Amino acid sequence: MDNSHTPKPRRRRTAAGAIALGLLMLATQPMPAQAWSGEGHRIIGILAADMLDPEAKAAVADLLSDETDPTLGGVASWADEVRPEDAWKHTSPWHYVNIRDGECHYAPARDCANGDCVIAAINAQLKVLSDKQQPRQARIEALKFVVHFIGDVHQPLHASGRADRGGNDYQINFRDGSENGEGTNLHGIWDYRILASHEEDAQRYANELATEGFAHNARDRLPGNHAAQWAEESCRIVEQPGLYPKGHVIDSNYLDQWRPLAQQRLREAAVRLAEALNKAL
């Protein structure tokens, strides 16, 4: 399954304090759940950048110094932008994983043959990024991949076990007020509609999400394959009643229902990205 697809300012916190607050906040919030649009990926990068420790922040600034927008948010969509190019077409399977198990249990040999899935890609790119003996260009690319792929794995439909290419083949009629509605698919709804309905730029959206508080899963602290845990979370979200709408028809009520969970996944991705970079850099 290839599931690719076509504010209030807050006081600055230390990296450790911000991440600790993120872990604490989830304990007080329900666990109800976009690869996101370019806006979604940028939001994750913006949020994560504010939680980097000084050493990681300096390393990011150095590695991205030649970029047009030398920030995590600025490079967050690079992996999508280069994917159509011949040199990068082989990375297409790195954006998702098909967990072929009714209970969302990831099995590498079954679900990630030859290491071609988002879970293996996250782990492999983090290894390159953390190795200061690697060529500088390889570490730059690894950083940009990590920023994007950690966002991808938190989009529920990028870790689905359903045989519909991550919702791309699940057609939707979105009743947007026009006579016949708009034809789209479930993946497109989760990539674009849930965030686009907010009608804000990425920085302002990120500021609001930060002000509202971070929702984060404390299980992230457990040992083991963290990327696999995150993918299994996404897979279980896909199986929540109602995420696949019966009748293939939705309206703005669907967006309102699922937006809080989508925003939670953005926050989780940001906290986890920051932790990963703090460890790697």
pLDDT at 208: 82
pLDDT at 196: 65
In a domain, 171, yes or no: yes
The two structure tokens encoding residue 197? 């309905």
pTM of the model: 0.83
Q: How distant is the alpha carbon of residue 208 from its chain centre?
A: 18
**How many domains are contained in the chain?**
1
In a domain, 25, yes or no: no
Amino acid of residue 255: L
pLDDT at 209: 84
**Euclidean distance between CA atoms 39 and 146, whole angstroms:** 17
pLDDT at 177: 75
Closest residue by Cα to residue 234 from 217, 209, 257, 213: 217
pLDDT at 150: 97
97: domain range?
34-280
Q: How many CB atoms lie within 10 A of CB 169?
A: 14
In a domain, 51, yes or no: yes
The set of residues, in sequence order, having a beta carbon less than 8 Å from that of 250 and lying 6+ positions away, is 172, 173, 174, 175, 189
CA atoms within 13 A on the CB side of 67: 21
Which residues of the chain register pLDDT less than 50?
5-34, 215-224
The secondary structure of 72-122, three-state, reads: HHHHCCHHHHHCCCHHHHHHHHHHCCCCCCCCCCCCHHHHCHHHCCHHHHH
In a domain, 84, yes or no: yes
In a domain, 256, yes or no: yes
Q: What is the CATH number of the domain that holds 103?
A: 1.10.575.10
Q: Starting at the edge strand that comes first in sequence, how are the strands of the sheet with 171-174 ordered?
A: 182-185, 171-174, 249-250
In a domain, 10, yes or no: no
pLDDT at 163: 85
CA atoms within 13 A on the CB side of 109: 0
Burial code (b: 16+ CB inside 10 Å, e: under 16) for 62-80 equals ebbeeeeeebbbbbbbbbb
In a domain, 12, yes or no: no
Closest residue by Cα to residue 158 from 46, 30, 269: 269
pLDDT tens-digit map of 127-156: 999 999 999 999 999 999 999 999 999 999
pLDDT at 3: 57
**Euclidean distance between CA atoms 245 and 226, whole angstroms:** 30
pLDDT at 96: 96
Distances (CA, A) of 239 to 5, 86, 139, 160: 21, 35, 36, 9
In a domain, 29, yes or no: no
Task: Please report which helix (H) or strand (E) contains residue 171, including its range.
Answer: strand 171-174
SS3 (DSSP) at 173:
strand
